[in-house]
Amino acid sequence: MTTTPVIDGIHLHARLAALARVGAIDGGGCARLALTDADRDGRDLVVGWMRAQGLAVTVDAIGNVFAIRAGREDGPPVMTGSHIDTVRTGGRFDGNYGVLAGLEVCRALDAAGLVTRRPLCVAFFTNEEGARFQPDMMGSLVHAGGLSLQEAYAATDTSGVRLGDELERIGYRGQAAPGAIRPRAFVELHIEQGPVLEEAGYTIGAVTGVQGISWHEFVVSGTAAHAGTTPMRLRHDAGYVAAAAATYVRQLTHDMGGAQVGTVGVSELRPNLINVIANHARFTVDLRNTDEALLRQAEQRTFATIEAVAQAEGVTVERRRLARFEPVVFDATMVARVERVARAHGHDPMRLPSGAGHDAQMMARLCPTAMIFVPSVKGLSHNVAEYTAPADLDAGAAVLLDVLLELAQA
């Protein structure tokens, strides 16, 4: 006998809290950088839950984890999931919520005695954040065929440690070939990580796509000299170029307007002394836009400006691409399905693009894909103060349940 499946919000919140204790840091957040010991411990915890629920767990060669709940028929599964790695000052919901809500969907179906026509799969992908190894969304990118295993294994962190070696060290270099599990559809539930839903008063966001992302690192080489005795006209100041770049990126966003955003997130100087002109600067530029042509324009203008400032200052600058992804538009039918299910649950969903990168943008290369957003209080994420109200977490999980159920029964 079957009953109507219902999400157990209390159990979902308890698991979110338990996972947050792995790599916990002051302020209620957590630090589980990809392929660290903390990441391994978080993986072990979640995989343990998957197996305890009777799901068949597979780990592929890039460390992506897939847990399958069998359907009445064999074939490509309907997949959901996200990631459980974090940035160094991460919160407890980013990525984790989508994975654990997927497990709660499976628990709800078990409790209701319901076996879906098609298999369901809950996944979490390796190194989504890109905080330790670049590019970000690496596991899903490899799964989708956009990056080779060899390229992924060769990625190094700032200490020169290879990703492939770390994957082996923590015991998550699996045997399955990346991409072997090709889903029928993919749905990712996630906190918004921005202020739009909360500001507008919406509980559910139907995500239309993901804006394009451009990450570049710049290294400037100048000449160290005495800060008091060197005339301004004779300086070759690497620090000045870094500062000028940061100022320009902000001005560019004002000049272009619209969806254009830009950030200088890393800025390092050497010798980093108060009375010495910097002979070395390293900084990163993060540019994003929902329009590929405009993103390219932002890149070209930024690169040209930095080169011009460097030339005028008499320094050299080297540029290295860390990540580059074009904007992604999600399947229109899938987005409409999220809206319809949300309305059936009594919500007035808001259509919006994602400002952050997500595994869903890589999975969209393989199958019809959609995302469901719930609000982030004050728009905070990548911050220990990241928070989403329990009622909103429950609402998003309930919508996910019914979207997945429709797809799995189709």
Residue 357 contacts by C-beta under 8 Å, 6 or more apart in sequence? 136, 137, 210, 213, 325
pLDDT of residue 168: 98
Asked if residue 308 lies in contact with residue 345, where contact means CB atoms within 8 angstroms, the answer is no
d(CA 83, CA 190): 10
Q: Is 363 helix (H, G, I), strand (E, B) or coil?
A: helix
User: Over pLDDT 90: what percentage of the chain?
Assistant: 99
Torsion sign across C-alpha atoms 195, 196, 201, 202? negative
pLDDT of residue 130: 95
d(CA 410, CA 401): 14
Amino acid at 222: G
Q: Which two tokens stand for residue 29?
A: 């957040």
Q: Facing residues of 81 across strands? A: 123
d(CA 264, CA 354): 20
pLDDT digits (tens, 9 = 90+) for 348-383: 999 999 999 999 999 999 999 999 999 999 999 999
d(CA 340, CA 71): 24
Asked if residue 121 lies in contact with residue 77, where contact means CB atoms within 8 angstroms, the answer is yes
Nearest of 372, 266, 381, 355 to residue 30 by alpha carbon: 381
Dmax (CA) for the chain in angstroms is: 86
Supply the DSSP symbol for 94.
T
Question: Which residues in the chain come in under a pLDDT of 70?
Answer: none
Residue 176 contacts by C-beta under 8 Å, 6 or more apart in sequence? 58, 59, 60, 61, 66
pLDDT of residue 2: 79
- How is 68-102 classified by DSSP, letter by letter? EE--SS-SSPEEEEE-----TTB-SSTTHHHHHHH
Asked if residue 400 lies in contact with residue 41, where contact means CB atoms within 8 angstroms, the answer is no
pTM of structure: 0.91
Asked if residue 124 lies in contact with residue 65, where contact means CB atoms within 8 angstroms, the answer is yes
pLDDT digits (tens, 9 = 90+) for 37-66: 999 999 999 999 999 999 999 999 999 999
Nearest of 330, 337, 396, 328 to residue 369 by alpha carbon: 330
